[in-house]
Structure 1
Amino acid sequence: LDTLDRLRMTAGFGVDWCQMEHGGGETTGYRFDADGKSIGYATDFSAISDGMINLFYGVDILVSDCLRREPHPTHAHLAMAIQFGEKCKAGRVVLSHLDKSMDYRSLCNEVPDFVVVGYDGLEIVA
Protein backbone atom coordinates (compact mmCIF):
# COMPACT_ATOMS: atom_id res chain seq x y z
CA LEU A 1 0.00 0.00 0.00
CA ASP A 2 2.94 2.38 0.24
CA THR A 3 2.50 3.28 -3.45
CA LEU A 4 -1.05 4.50 -2.86
CA ASP A 5 -1.86 7.96 -1.60
CA ARG A 6 -5.27 6.94 -0.37
CA LEU A 7 -7.21 3.75 0.13
CA ARG A 8 -10.93 3.95 -0.62
CA MET A 9 -13.13 1.01 0.20
CA THR A 10 -16.14 0.23 -1.98
CA ALA A 11 -18.54 0.93 0.89
CA GLY A 12 -17.48 4.58 0.99
CA PHE A 13 -15.03 4.11 3.83
CA GLY A 14 -11.75 5.97 3.29
CA VAL A 15 -8.37 5.62 4.96
CA ASP A 16 -5.54 8.10 4.48
CA TRP A 17 -2.22 8.39 6.28
CA CYS A 18 0.98 10.37 6.74
CA GLN A 19 4.38 9.82 8.29
CA MET A 20 4.99 11.58 11.62
CA GLU A 21 8.27 12.41 13.36
CA HIS A 22 8.78 10.34 16.52
CA GLY A 23 12.06 11.51 18.00
CA GLY A 24 14.71 9.82 15.86
CA GLY A 25 12.24 7.70 13.89
CA GLU A 26 8.86 7.83 12.20
CA THR A 27 5.37 6.58 12.92
CA THR A 28 2.17 6.71 10.90
CA GLY A 29 -0.95 8.76 11.56
CA TYR A 30 -4.31 7.74 10.10
CA ARG A 31 -7.50 9.46 9.00
CA PHE A 32 -10.71 7.48 8.64
CA ASP A 33 -13.67 8.90 6.68
CA ALA A 34 -17.13 7.34 6.37
CA ASP A 35 -20.65 8.66 5.85
CA GLY A 36 -19.52 12.29 6.03
CA LYS A 37 -17.75 11.84 9.39
CA SER A 38 -14.02 11.68 10.12
CA ILE A 39 -11.69 10.51 12.86
CA GLY A 40 -7.95 11.15 12.96
CA TYR A 41 -5.53 9.00 14.96
CA ALA A 42 -2.12 10.49 15.73
CA THR A 43 -0.11 8.99 18.55
CA ASP A 44 3.64 8.73 19.01
CA PHE A 45 4.70 12.01 17.40
CA SER A 46 7.18 14.64 18.55
CA ALA A 47 6.59 17.47 16.05
CA ILE A 48 3.64 18.83 14.07
CA SER A 49 4.31 18.80 10.32
CA ASP A 50 2.47 20.44 7.43
CA GLY A 51 1.60 16.94 6.23
CA MET A 52 -0.13 16.22 9.53
CA ILE A 53 -2.08 19.49 9.41
CA ASN A 54 -3.19 18.74 5.84
CA LEU A 55 -4.22 15.16 6.64
CA PHE A 56 -6.15 15.92 9.81
CA TYR A 57 -7.59 19.30 8.77
CA GLY A 58 -11.28 19.55 9.64
CA VAL A 59 -11.65 16.10 11.23
CA ASP A 60 -14.64 15.69 13.52
CA ILE A 61 -12.53 13.91 16.15
CA LEU A 62 -8.75 13.92 16.50
CA VAL A 63 -7.18 11.37 18.85
CA SER A 64 -3.83 12.92 19.78
CA ASP A 65 -0.73 11.83 21.63
CA CYS A 66 -0.31 13.75 24.91
CA LEU A 67 2.23 12.05 27.14
CA ARG A 68 2.65 14.72 29.81
CA ARG A 69 2.57 18.47 30.49
CA GLU A 70 6.27 19.07 29.82
CA PRO A 71 8.00 18.59 26.44
CA HIS A 72 9.33 15.10 25.69
CA PRO A 73 11.81 14.05 22.96
CA THR A 74 9.51 11.46 21.34
CA HIS A 75 5.94 12.42 22.29
CA ALA A 76 3.57 15.39 22.19
CA HIS A 77 2.97 17.29 25.42
CA LEU A 78 -0.25 19.01 26.55
CA ALA A 79 0.30 22.42 24.92
CA MET A 80 1.43 20.75 21.67
CA ALA A 81 -1.63 18.47 21.55
CA ILE A 82 -3.99 21.42 22.07
CA GLN A 83 -2.15 23.49 19.46
CA PHE A 84 -2.32 20.55 17.04
CA GLY A 85 -6.10 20.38 17.41
CA GLU A 86 -6.40 24.13 16.88
CA LYS A 87 -4.20 24.11 13.76
CA CYS A 88 -6.21 21.21 12.31
CA LYS A 89 -9.50 22.89 13.20
CA ALA A 90 -10.62 19.58 14.68
CA GLY A 91 -14.15 19.53 16.06
CA ARG A 92 -13.03 17.61 19.13
CA VAL A 93 -9.61 16.48 20.40
CA VAL A 94 -9.27 13.34 22.52
CA LEU A 95 -6.02 13.19 24.48
CA SER A 96 -4.42 9.76 24.47
CA HIS A 97 -1.16 8.06 25.49
CA LEU A 98 -1.16 9.85 28.88
CA ASP A 99 1.47 8.96 31.46
CA LYS A 100 0.83 8.57 35.20
CA SER A 101 1.53 12.28 35.88
CA MET A 102 -1.62 13.24 33.96
CA ASP A 103 -4.30 13.12 36.67
CA TYR A 104 -7.68 12.77 34.95
CA ARG A 105 -9.69 15.10 37.20
CA SER A 106 -7.21 17.95 37.30
CA LEU A 107 -6.50 17.63 33.58
CA CYS A 108 -10.22 17.85 32.77
CA ASN A 109 -10.25 21.26 34.50
CA GLU A 110 -7.20 22.49 32.55
CA VAL A 111 -8.19 21.81 28.96
CA PRO A 112 -10.38 23.91 26.64
CA ASP A 113 -13.97 22.83 25.94
CA PHE A 114 -13.10 21.19 22.60
CA VAL A 115 -10.64 18.81 24.32
CA VAL A 116 -11.64 15.52 25.97
CA VAL A 117 -9.28 13.65 28.27
CA GLY A 118 -9.17 10.03 27.15
CA TYR A 119 -9.41 7.10 29.54
CA ASP A 120 -9.33 3.32 29.38
CA GLY A 121 -12.58 1.99 27.93
CA LEU A 122 -13.57 5.26 26.22
CA GLU A 123 -15.67 4.63 23.10
CA ILE A 124 -15.31 7.20 20.33
CA VAL A 125 -18.10 7.72 17.80
CA ALA A 126 -18.03 10.44 15.16
Structure 2
Amino acid sequence: MKDKFTVTVLGSGTSQGVPVIGCQCEVCSSTDSRDSRLRSSILISYNDQNYVIDSGPDFRQQMLREDVRSLRSVIYTHEHKDHVAGMDDVRSFNFLEGRDMELFCNEAVSTALKREFHYAFGANLYPGVPRVKINIIGNEPFQLPDGPMITPILAYHYKMPVFGYRIGDFAYMTDVKTIPVEELQKLKGVEVLILDCLREEPHVSHLNLEEALDIINYLHPKQSYLTHISHLFGTHEEISAKLPHSVSPAFDGLKIKID
Protein backbone atom coordinates (compact mmCIF):
# COMPACT_ATOMS: atom_id res chain seq x y z
CA MET A 1 0.00 0.00 0.00
CA LYS A 2 1.38 3.41 -0.98
CA ASP A 3 1.86 6.22 1.50
CA LYS A 4 -0.62 9.04 0.91
CA PHE A 5 0.22 12.50 2.20
CA THR A 6 0.41 16.16 1.26
CA VAL A 7 3.56 18.23 0.85
CA THR A 8 3.33 21.99 1.28
CA VAL A 9 6.24 24.14 0.11
CA LEU A 10 6.84 26.48 3.04
CA GLY A 11 9.71 28.26 1.34
CA SER A 12 11.42 27.95 -2.05
CA GLY A 13 14.09 30.66 -1.82
CA THR A 14 17.80 30.88 -1.17
CA SER A 15 19.56 31.82 2.07
CA GLN A 16 18.77 35.50 1.46
CA GLY A 17 15.17 34.89 0.41
CA VAL A 18 13.45 36.76 -2.40
CA PRO A 19 13.14 39.72 -2.53
CA VAL A 20 16.72 40.29 -1.40
CA ILE A 21 17.15 43.22 0.98
CA GLY A 22 17.80 46.41 -0.99
CA CYS A 23 17.53 44.78 -4.43
CA GLN A 24 15.40 46.46 -7.09
CA CYS A 25 15.78 43.87 -9.87
CA GLU A 26 12.82 42.62 -11.90
CA VAL A 27 12.37 39.56 -9.69
CA CYS A 28 12.66 41.36 -6.37
CA SER A 29 10.24 44.04 -7.61
CA SER A 30 7.74 41.53 -9.04
CA THR A 31 4.08 41.75 -8.04
CA ASP A 32 3.59 38.03 -8.74
CA SER A 33 3.21 36.37 -5.32
CA ARG A 34 5.08 33.32 -6.66
CA ASP A 35 8.24 35.46 -6.85
CA SER A 36 8.24 36.10 -3.08
CA ARG A 37 10.30 33.25 -1.69
CA LEU A 38 10.96 32.49 1.97
CA ARG A 39 13.87 30.28 2.97
CA SER A 40 13.60 26.66 1.80
CA SER A 41 11.48 24.27 3.84
CA ILE A 42 8.55 21.88 3.41
CA LEU A 43 5.65 20.63 5.50
CA ILE A 44 4.58 16.98 5.27
CA SER A 45 1.01 16.24 6.40
CA TYR A 46 0.55 12.50 6.96
CA ASN A 47 -2.41 10.86 8.71
CA ASP A 48 -3.31 14.02 10.63
CA GLN A 49 0.31 14.49 11.72
CA ASN A 50 2.58 17.30 10.55
CA TYR A 51 6.33 17.12 9.99
CA VAL A 52 8.65 19.89 8.83
CA ILE A 53 11.94 19.52 7.00
CA ASP A 54 14.17 22.42 8.15
CA SER A 55 13.16 25.24 10.46
CA GLY A 56 14.85 28.24 8.89
CA PRO A 57 14.65 31.91 9.90
CA ASP A 58 11.13 32.17 8.40
CA PHE A 59 9.76 29.19 10.34
CA ARG A 60 7.38 31.26 12.50
CA GLN A 61 5.99 33.13 9.49
CA GLN A 62 5.56 29.88 7.56
CA MET A 63 3.69 28.17 10.42
CA LEU A 64 1.35 31.16 10.74
CA ARG A 65 0.74 31.41 6.99
CA GLU A 66 -0.23 27.73 6.76
CA ASP A 67 -2.15 27.81 10.04
CA VAL A 68 -0.18 24.87 11.45
CA ARG A 69 -1.49 24.13 14.94
CA SER A 70 0.31 20.87 15.63
CA LEU A 71 3.76 19.62 14.70
CA ARG A 72 5.09 16.16 15.47
CA SER A 73 8.77 16.61 14.57
CA VAL A 74 11.38 18.54 12.61
CA ILE A 75 13.88 16.81 10.32
CA TYR A 76 17.06 18.64 9.29
CA THR A 77 19.02 18.49 6.05
CA HIS A 78 22.16 20.26 7.30
CA GLU A 79 23.40 22.85 9.76
CA HIS A 80 23.46 26.09 7.74
CA LYS A 81 21.69 28.99 9.44
CA ASP A 82 19.00 29.32 6.76
CA HIS A 83 17.87 25.81 7.69
CA VAL A 84 18.10 25.82 11.49
CA ALA A 85 17.65 29.44 12.66
CA GLY A 86 13.95 29.11 13.54
CA MET A 87 14.30 26.17 15.91
CA ASP A 88 13.49 28.34 18.95
CA ASP A 89 9.91 28.73 17.76
CA VAL A 90 9.09 25.07 18.31
CA ARG A 91 8.36 26.19 21.87
CA SER A 92 4.92 27.31 20.68
CA PHE A 93 4.17 23.67 19.89
CA ASN A 94 5.59 22.60 23.28
CA PHE A 95 2.86 24.74 24.84
CA LEU A 96 0.10 23.65 22.45
CA GLU A 97 0.84 19.92 22.63
CA GLY A 98 2.44 19.53 26.05
CA ARG A 99 5.44 17.54 24.87
CA ASP A 100 9.03 17.93 23.75
CA MET A 101 9.63 18.49 20.05
CA GLU A 102 11.45 15.58 18.45
CA LEU A 103 14.27 16.66 16.15
CA PHE A 104 15.96 14.32 13.67
CA CYS A 105 19.44 15.24 12.45
CA ASN A 106 23.02 14.09 12.06
CA GLU A 107 25.81 14.79 14.56
CA ALA A 108 26.94 17.97 12.79
CA VAL A 109 23.45 19.50 12.98
CA SER A 110 23.11 18.44 16.62
CA THR A 111 26.38 20.21 17.46
CA ALA A 112 25.22 23.36 15.65
CA LEU A 113 21.85 23.38 17.42
CA LYS A 114 23.48 22.99 20.82
CA ARG A 115 25.86 25.84 19.99
CA GLU A 116 23.25 28.21 18.53
CA PHE A 117 20.54 27.41 21.08
CA HIS A 118 22.72 26.56 24.06
CA TYR A 119 20.05 27.85 26.46
CA ALA A 120 17.74 24.99 25.42
CA PHE A 121 20.15 22.26 26.49
CA GLY A 122 21.66 21.18 29.79
CA ALA A 123 20.42 21.18 33.36
CA ASN A 124 18.33 23.83 35.15
CA LEU A 125 16.71 25.20 32.01
CA TYR A 126 15.13 28.65 32.12
CA PRO A 127 11.30 28.48 31.98
CA GLY A 128 9.93 29.01 28.48
CA VAL A 129 12.89 27.75 26.47
CA PRO A 130 12.15 25.29 23.65
CA ARG A 131 11.96 21.73 24.90
CA VAL A 132 13.46 19.36 22.37
CA LYS A 133 14.66 15.80 22.05
CA ILE A 134 17.41 15.25 19.48
CA ASN A 135 17.39 11.94 17.62
CA ILE A 136 20.69 11.34 15.86
CA ILE A 137 20.30 9.76 12.44
CA GLY A 138 22.77 8.22 10.03
CA ASN A 139 22.44 7.15 6.44
CA GLU A 140 19.83 4.50 7.17
CA PRO A 141 16.00 4.58 7.02
CA PHE A 142 14.20 5.61 10.20
CA GLN A 143 10.61 5.86 11.39
CA LEU A 144 9.03 9.23 12.03
CA PRO A 145 6.98 9.28 15.26
CA ASP A 146 3.39 8.33 14.39
CA GLY A 147 4.44 8.62 10.75
CA PRO A 148 6.07 6.98 7.75
CA MET A 149 9.49 5.50 7.17
CA ILE A 150 11.92 8.04 5.78
CA THR A 151 15.07 7.23 3.81
CA PRO A 152 18.01 9.66 3.96
CA ILE A 153 19.83 10.40 0.71
CA LEU A 154 23.42 11.51 1.31
CA ALA A 155 24.54 14.36 -0.96
CA TYR A 156 27.13 17.13 -0.87
CA HIS A 157 26.66 20.90 -0.62
CA TYR A 158 30.14 21.72 -1.99
CA LYS A 159 32.08 19.53 0.52
CA MET A 160 29.46 19.56 3.27
CA PRO A 161 27.45 16.35 3.73
CA VAL A 162 23.71 17.03 3.59
CA PHE A 163 20.71 14.75 3.73
CA GLY A 164 17.88 14.70 1.25
CA TYR A 165 14.90 12.55 2.17
CA ARG A 166 12.64 10.06 0.44
CA ILE A 167 9.19 9.12 1.72
CA GLY A 168 7.47 6.56 -0.49
CA ASP A 169 7.25 7.95 -4.02
CA PHE A 170 8.33 11.46 -2.97
CA ALA A 171 11.81 12.91 -2.43
CA TYR A 172 13.14 16.29 -1.30
CA MET A 173 16.70 17.36 -2.11
CA THR A 174 17.79 20.90 -1.26
CA ASP A 175 21.25 22.50 -1.01
CA VAL A 176 22.80 19.90 -3.29
CA LYS A 177 25.74 20.07 -5.69
CA THR A 178 26.64 16.38 -6.08
CA ILE A 179 24.87 13.10 -5.35
CA PRO A 180 27.04 9.95 -5.27
CA VAL A 181 25.94 7.25 -7.71
CA GLU A 182 24.98 4.79 -4.96
CA GLU A 183 22.80 7.46 -3.31
CA LEU A 184 21.22 8.41 -6.63
CA GLN A 185 20.03 4.81 -6.90
CA LYS A 186 17.93 5.34 -3.76
CA LEU A 187 15.91 7.87 -5.76
CA LYS A 188 15.01 5.45 -8.54
CA GLY A 189 11.24 5.09 -8.89
CA VAL A 190 10.46 8.43 -7.25
CA GLU A 191 7.34 9.92 -8.85
CA VAL A 192 7.53 13.42 -7.36
CA LEU A 193 10.87 15.14 -6.79
CA ILE A 194 11.67 18.55 -5.29
CA LEU A 195 15.24 19.40 -6.26
CA ASP A 196 17.69 22.21 -5.59
CA CYS A 197 18.23 24.53 -8.58
CA LEU A 198 19.73 27.91 -7.76
CA ARG A 199 20.05 29.52 -11.20
CA GLU A 200 21.27 28.92 -14.76
CA GLU A 201 24.92 29.81 -14.16
CA PRO A 202 27.18 27.26 -12.41
CA HIS A 203 27.60 27.57 -8.64
CA VAL A 204 30.14 25.97 -6.32
CA SER A 205 27.63 24.46 -3.88
CA HIS A 206 24.26 24.30 -5.67
CA LEU A 207 22.91 22.64 -8.79
CA ASN A 208 22.33 24.93 -11.71
CA LEU A 209 19.56 24.35 -14.25
CA GLU A 210 21.58 22.09 -16.56
CA GLU A 211 22.77 19.91 -13.67
CA ALA A 212 19.31 19.68 -12.12
CA LEU A 213 17.74 18.66 -15.43
CA ASP A 214 20.44 16.01 -15.92
CA ILE A 215 19.41 14.40 -12.61
CA ILE A 216 15.72 14.70 -13.46
CA ASN A 217 16.29 13.13 -16.89
CA TYR A 218 18.16 10.25 -15.25
CA LEU A 219 15.45 9.58 -12.64
CA HIS A 220 12.40 10.33 -14.85
CA PRO A 221 9.94 11.31 -12.09
CA LYS A 222 6.40 12.00 -13.21
CA GLN A 223 6.69 15.53 -11.83
CA SER A 224 9.64 17.58 -10.59
CA TYR A 225 9.79 20.94 -8.85
CA LEU A 226 12.81 23.21 -8.52
CA THR A 227 13.55 24.90 -5.19
CA HIS A 228 16.14 27.09 -3.43
CA ILE A 229 15.64 29.54 -6.29
CA SER A 230 17.73 32.72 -6.55
CA HIS A 231 16.50 36.09 -7.79
CA LEU A 232 19.23 35.68 -10.42
CA PHE A 233 17.25 32.81 -12.00
CA GLY A 234 14.38 35.05 -13.18
CA THR A 235 10.69 35.38 -12.43
CA HIS A 236 8.42 32.38 -11.97
CA GLU A 237 7.03 32.92 -15.47
CA GLU A 238 10.49 33.25 -17.02
CA ILE A 239 11.74 30.10 -15.32
CA SER A 240 8.63 28.14 -16.31
CA ALA A 241 9.17 28.99 -19.98
CA LYS A 242 12.61 27.33 -19.89
CA LEU A 243 11.46 24.02 -18.41
CA PRO A 244 10.16 20.73 -19.83
CA HIS A 245 6.45 20.06 -19.28
CA SER A 246 7.07 17.75 -16.31
CA VAL A 247 9.28 20.26 -14.46
CA SER A 248 8.05 23.39 -12.68
CA PRO A 249 9.51 26.00 -10.35
CA ALA A 250 8.20 25.47 -6.84
CA PHE A 251 6.62 28.43 -5.10
CA ASP A 252 5.70 29.22 -1.52
CA GLY A 253 2.34 27.72 -0.57
CA LEU A 254 2.37 25.08 -3.32
CA LYS A 255 0.55 21.94 -2.18
CA ILE A 256 1.40 18.57 -3.71
CA LYS A 257 -0.71 15.47 -3.08
CA ILE A 258 1.26 12.24 -3.03
CA ASP A 259 -1.05 9.28 -3.78
* TM-score (structure 2 length as normaliser): 0.44
Paired with 1:10 and 1:21, the residues of 2 have a C-alpha distance of 27
RMSD: 2.0
Amino acid at match of 2:195: S
Give the number of the structure whose residues are more often helix, by fraction: 2
2:234 is equivalent to residue 99 of structure 1: no
Q: 1:26-105 alignment to 2 at 5 Å? A: 26-33=161-168, 38-102=169-233, 103-105=235-237
Runs of 4+ off more than 3 Å: 1-4, 8-12
Distance of aligned partners of 1:13 and 1:99 in 2 relative to their CA distance in 1, 3 Å threshold: same
Measured after TM superposition, the shift of residue 4 of structure 1 is 6.8
Unaligned 5+ runs, structure 1? none
Match of 1:19 in 2: 154
Specify the SS of the correspondent of 2:210.
helix
Paired with 1:66 and 1:2, the residues of 2 have a C-alpha distance of 26
Deviation track 1:70-109 (CA, whole Å, cap 9, x = no partner) reads 1100101111111111112211110000000222111111
Amino acid at match of 1:29: G
Unaligned 5+ runs, structure 2? 1-135
Larger RCO: 1 or 2 (CA < 8 Å, sep 6+)? 2
* TM-score (structure 1 length as normaliser): 0.86
Alignment match of 2:250 (pick from 110, 118, 122): 118
Match of 1:109 in 2: 241
For the pair shown, the structure with the greater C-alpha radius of gyration is 2
Measured after TM superposition, the shift of residue 14 of structure 1 is 2.3
Give the number of the structure whose residues are more often strand, by fraction: 1
Measured after TM superposition, the shift of residue 5 of structure 1 is 2.3
Distance of aligned partners of 1:3 and 1:29 in 2 relative to their CA distance in 1, 3 Å threshold: closer
Paired with 2:228 and 2:138, the residues of 1 have a C-alpha distance of 30
Percent identity over paired residues: 25
CA contact (8 A) 1:18 1:51 kept: no
Measured after TM superposition, the shift of residue 13 of structure 1 is 2.5
CA contact (8 A) 2:139 2:154 kept: no
CA contact (8 A) 1:58 1:91 kept: no
Paired with 2:204 and 2:226, the residues of 1 have a C-alpha distance of 18
